[in-house]
Each structure stands twice: as structure tokens, then as C-alpha cells.
């Protein structure tokens, strides 16, 4: 039996705040979803024309190829400093930075802490997958204890290599941090929560409340040498106990 459908209601589509450029990310990687959610919020809030993004060095170095807003590609570790420069001269615009763990929590630690400490009115998105993806799977500041990487082939030894850095809890202590939360993108429910957090961050930025910091605990199937499903499973079992998802600092009155 043939059925003819005359008209269909469009219930979901790609946001225009993403470009048509195919993303280069590995299958199962969280970056694609994180990009999409960030840009969907910007689109839905109607702030595409007033938003400037700062891309990092790392796997998401090409974020400016995918995000259909004005963007600057910063030096390694310095995204929040460059975002500060943009926001200070364009205080009425929306500014976000997007960085991975090596960028934000190793080489850029000083910039991260001082940007938040000044309470810069920006959104800092922090992708934490516990590894340097782009350079081929080296140990990151957030690599878990015992985690094997190409530069910790016998597992991360916290005595000689330091312990995985909970930078998000650290910056949450600073007065300039307004809203600090840890989210993930591995399930539909998690994605919805992330979207809410990003939206709340831009709403706070409009009110000039201070720095909003959204960590996204993510995966790295290639770097972890797992299938996408294994990676998400491993992330839940190993990353979440050390980096538990949920709000870390929520201002009074924020929904």
C-alpha cells in the first residue's frame, strides 16, 4: 500500500548558528554535540548577531569553521585572556570561550584563574575528557589516577605526575565565579541539562553577573582506544566518580 504524505511538520533541524561545514571530529566524540547545543542556545536566544566566540588550540581548534558567529582562534591556553580583551571593548556583546582540559587546566591555568577571579562577564565552556586528543593521546592535567596514555604508558602515577586537577571546583571558590556547573553530553537527558546550563549562563551574562563556567565531562574514543559506546560507559564508571556531574556553584535566585 502506498501512502502519500502531503506535508510534514518540521520538528527538529540543524540550527542556522552552525555552518554547513562537516565536522572533523571522531565518531562518538562529544565535541559535536557540545558545539550543537551551544549554538542552538545562541540561535534560540536570538543573540547570533551579538555573540563572539573564542576557539582554543586542541581538537576543537576548528570550532570557528562550524560555529556561525564571529570568532577568534586563540593561542594555546589563552582563550580566556583573548575573550577578556574582546569583552572589555565590546561589553554589550555576548562572549564565550571554548577550551579543552590541556588548554584550560594546564598551559592556561593562570589565565583561567584570573579571568574568573576578575569575574569577566563571559561564558567559559570547558571540555574535560582527561586526555590530549589532537596531539595523539598524551596525559592531561585531568587524566585520572592510573590512566594509561601515550605519556603515562604505565598509568598516571599521582606521586610523580600530580593528581588529576579539579579546576572547576578550584575556580568555583573565586568571588568572580557566578555560576559553575559540570555537565555531560552522553545521553539525551544530559544534553537537555547542558542546554539549560548554557542558557542560564548567557542570561546571566546579559545581566553582567560575572563569569559562568560550564564543564562538560566528555569522552575521547580515539585517545582512550575504545568504541564510542565503550567510551561513554568508561566515562560514567571512571570519570563521573571523580568529576561528578551537577551544579557546583549556583547563585541564589537562579532557576
Partner 1 sequence: MVTLQRDETPKLMKGNEALAEAAIRANMQAYFGYPITPQSEILEYLTEEVPKRSTSVVLQAESEVASINMVYGAGSAGARVMTSSSSPGFSLMQEGISYIAASEIPCLLVNVQRGGPGLGTIQPAQGDYFQATKGGGHGDYHIIVLAPNSVQEMADFVFEGFRLAEEYRMPALILSDGAIGQMMEKVYLPKEGSLPLRQHDWAVTGKPKTRERNFITSLHMEPDKMETINLHLQDKYRKLRKEERYELFNVKDADIILVAFGLTARICNKARELAAEKGLRVGVVRPITLYPFPYDILASLAGPNRVFLTVEMNSGQMVEDVRLAVNGKSPVYFRGRMGGMIPTPEDLLLEMEALAEKHTLINQAVR
46 scored as a contact of partner 1 (CB under 8 A):
no
Q: Which of 30, 38, 68, 167 binds partner 1 (CB under 8 A)?
A: 68
- Name the residue nearer to partner 1 (CB basis): 107 or 254: 107
Contact 73, 97 (CB under 8 A): no
Contact 160, 194 (CB under 8 A): no
Dist. CA 197–CA 26, nearest whole Å:
25
180 scored as a contact of partner 1 (CB under 8 A):
no
Per-residue x/- mask for partner 1, residues 70 to 109, rule CB under 8 A? xxxxxx--x--xxxxxxxxxx--x----------------
Dist. CA 118–CA 95, nearest whole Å:
15
Query: Which residue in the block uniquely carries the three cell numbers 548558528?
Result: 17
β-pairing verdict for 177-184 and 246-249? antiparallel
Q: Which of 41, 69, 216, 235 binds partner 1 (CB under 8 A)?
A: 69
- Please identify, among the stretches 4-12, 25-33, 63-71, 231-239, the one whose residues bind partner 1 according to the rule CB under 8 A: 63-71
Q: Which of residues 114-133 bind partner 1 (CB under 8 A)?
A: 114
Per-residue x/- mask for partner 1, residues 6 to 35, rule CB under 8 A? -------------x----------------
Shortest distance in whole angstroms from residue 71 CB to partner 1: 4
Contact 167, 140 (CB under 8 A): no
HEC letters along 77-102: CCHHHHHHHHHHHCCCCEEEEEEEHH
Number of C-beta neighbours around residue 157 at 10 A: 11
Binding site for partner 1 (CB under 8 A): 19, 48-52, 54-55, 61-62, 64-65, 68-75, 78, 81-90, 93, 110-111, 113-114
Amino acid at each position: 500500500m502506498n501512502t502519500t504524505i502531503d506535508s510534514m511538520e518540521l520538528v527538529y533541524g540543524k540550527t542556522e548558528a552552525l555552518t554547513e561545514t562537516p565536522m572533523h571530529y571522531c565518531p562518538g566524540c562529544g565535541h559535536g554535540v557540545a558545539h550543537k547545543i551551544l549554538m542552538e542556545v545562541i540561535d534560540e536566544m536570538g543573540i547570533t548577531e551579538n555573540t563572539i566566540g573564542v576557539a582554543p588550540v586542541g581538537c576543537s581548534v576548528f570550532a570557528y569553521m562550524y560555529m556561525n558567529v564571529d570568532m577568534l582562534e586563540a593561542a594555546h591556553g589563552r582563550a580566556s585572556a583573548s575573550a577578556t580583551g574582546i569583552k572589555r571593548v565590546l561589553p554589550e556583546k555576548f562572549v564565550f570561550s571554548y577550551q579543552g582540559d590541556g588548554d584550560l587546566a594546564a598551559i592556561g591555568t593562570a589565565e583561567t584563574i584570573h579571568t574568573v577571579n576578575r569575574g569577566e562577564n563571559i561564558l567559559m565552556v570547558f571540555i574535560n575528557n582527561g586526555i590530549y586528543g589532537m596531539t595523539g593521546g598524551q596525559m592531561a592535567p585531568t587524566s585520572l589516577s592510573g590512566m594509561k596514555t601515550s605519556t603515562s604508558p604505565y598509568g598516571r602515577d599521582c606521586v610523580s605526575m600530580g593528581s588529576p586537577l579539579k579546576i572547576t571546583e578550584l575556580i568555583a571558590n573565586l568571588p568572580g565565579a557566578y555560576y559553575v556547573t559540570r555537565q555531560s553530553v552522553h545521553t539525551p537527558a544530559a544534553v537537555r541539562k547542558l542546554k539549560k546550563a548554557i542558557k542560564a549562563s548567557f542570561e546571566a551574562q546579559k545581566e553582567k553577573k560575572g563569569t559562568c563556567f560550564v564543564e562538560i565531562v566528555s569522552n575521547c574514543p580515539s585517545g582512550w582506544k575504545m568504541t564510542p559506546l565503550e567510551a561513554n560507559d568508561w566515562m560514567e564508571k571512571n570519570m563521573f566518580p571523580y568529576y561528578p556531574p551537577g551544579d557546583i556553584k549556583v547563585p541564589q535566585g537562579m532557576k
